[in-house]
């Protein structure tokens, strides 16, 4: 995220650049290493599914809610997926109150596209009465602490919340459709198609994965790739420019990184804390 009001003293900037040119980073990582990923599911009892994803000090919580809705005209037999993302001022000194800004809207839309095009959630299972009544699947993503790479953390939280969410039963009574919140069944997801993003930043001529917020301020280019089952399902180049060779390199490195992140998510889906801890 390019937050123009966060500045780095030039001495620190020079030191960081020197480290990066040696293939190192201020927190001891290599250029393509992720920080520690931690996922907790089921924290929010009022949600139908929830997950808290941490990448280092970046913390993002996602809550899933099922409501009744009318299908969109072009998809009469599918539920409606709606992704919203908020960057509340408690998460960073650079966030301000107000409706989602262009950064938050971009994040939400990339999360939305990655889920939509991956086939992770079979949206046809969320139709209730063809052309008339469907589930609206709300995915609300909240940033709690911003230390860089909100993109990857947001999708991690969203997919972990979806993978562990419970759909309230629909009851059809004549022309009236209602939800029975007391009876729930797990949302059907295809774990082989779980979408995950890998985000790269360019600093000088170097490309690194999973930038922290300081590295994001130094960044001259940002590139996100979403993978699902080995395929690319979404790309978002944000700032800067990239050569075709750099893009190809990020594709192949991203694919490998997404496999290890995926393993981490799968092993975390049973991590259901007793109490609400972040």
Partner 1 sequence: MGGKSPVPLLVDGKRVDGRLPEDHRSVTMRVGVLPNASGSALVGYGNTVVLAAVYGPREAMPRHIALPDTGVLRVRYHMAPFSTDERKSPAPTRREIEISKVVRQALEPVIFLEQFPKSSIDVFLEVLQADGSTRVTSITAASLALADSGIPMRDLVVGVSIGKIGDTVVVDLNKLEDNYGDGDMPIAVVYRRSWITLMQADGSWTVEEVKKAIGLAFRAAEPIYKMERDTLKGRYSEQAIVS
Sites of contact with partner 1 (CB under 8 A): 4, 74-75, 78, 102-103, 105-106, 108-109, 113, 116-118, 223, 228, 230-244, 247-248, 251-252, 255
Query: For partner 1, which is the closer residue by CB, 174 or 244?
Result: 244
Min CB(6)–partner 1 separation in Å? 13
Min CB(227)–partner 1 separation in Å? 9
Alpha-carbon dihedral angle through residues 86, 89, 92, 95, given to the nearest 10 degrees: 70
Min CB(14)–partner 1 separation in Å? 18
Query: For partner 1, which is the closer residue by CB, 38 or 106?
Result: 106
Min CB(67)–partner 1 separation in Å? 19
Tokens of 161: 């919340």
Per DSSP, which regions of 42-132 are E strands? 49-55, 58-69, 80-86, 127-129
Min CB(43)–partner 1 separation in Å? 27
Gap between the Cα atoms of 161 and 137, Å rounded: 12
Tokens of 44: 């929010």
Phi and psi, residue 194, nearest 5°: -55, 120
Query: For partner 1, which is the closer residue by CB, 2 or 183?
Result: 2
Gap between the Cα atoms of 32 and 208, Å rounded: 5
Nearest in space to 159 (alpha carbons), one of 251, 236, 64, 229: 64
């Amino acid at each position: 995220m390019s937050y123009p009001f966060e500045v780095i003293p030039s001495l620190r900037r020079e030191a960081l650049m020197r480290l990066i040119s040696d293939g190192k980073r201020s927190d001891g990582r290599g250029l393509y290493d992720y920080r520690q990923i931690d996922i907790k599911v089921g924290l929010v009892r009022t949600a139908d599914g929830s997950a808290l994803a941490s990448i280092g000090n970046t913390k993002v919580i996602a809550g899933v809610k099922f409501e009744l809705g009318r299908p969109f005209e072009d998809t009469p037999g599918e539920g409606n997926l709606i992704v919203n993302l908020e960057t509340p001022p408690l998460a960073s000194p650079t966030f301000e109150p107000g409706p989602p800004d262009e950064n938050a809207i971009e994040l939400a839309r990339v999360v939305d596209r990655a889920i939509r095009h991956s086939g992770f959630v079979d949206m046809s299972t969320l139709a209730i009465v063809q052309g008339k009544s469907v589930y609206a699947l709300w995915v609300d993503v909240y940033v709690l602490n911003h230390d860089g790479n909100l993109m990857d953390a947001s999708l991690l939280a969203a997919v972990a919340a979806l993978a562990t969410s419970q759909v309230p039963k629909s009851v059809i009574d004549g022309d009236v459709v209602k939800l029975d919140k007391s009876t729930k069944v797990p949302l059907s997801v295809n774990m082989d198609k779980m979408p995950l993003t890998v985000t790269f930043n360019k600093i000088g001529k170097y490309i690194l994965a999973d930038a922290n917020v300081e590295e994001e301020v130094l960044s001259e280019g940002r590139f996100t790739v979403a993978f699902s089952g080995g395929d690319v399902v979404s790309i978002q180049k944000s700032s800067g420019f990239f050569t075709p060779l750099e893009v190809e390199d990020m594709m192949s490195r991203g694919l490998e990184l997404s496999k290890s992140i995926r393993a981490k998510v799968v092993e975390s889906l049973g991590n259901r804390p007793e109490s609400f801890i972040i």
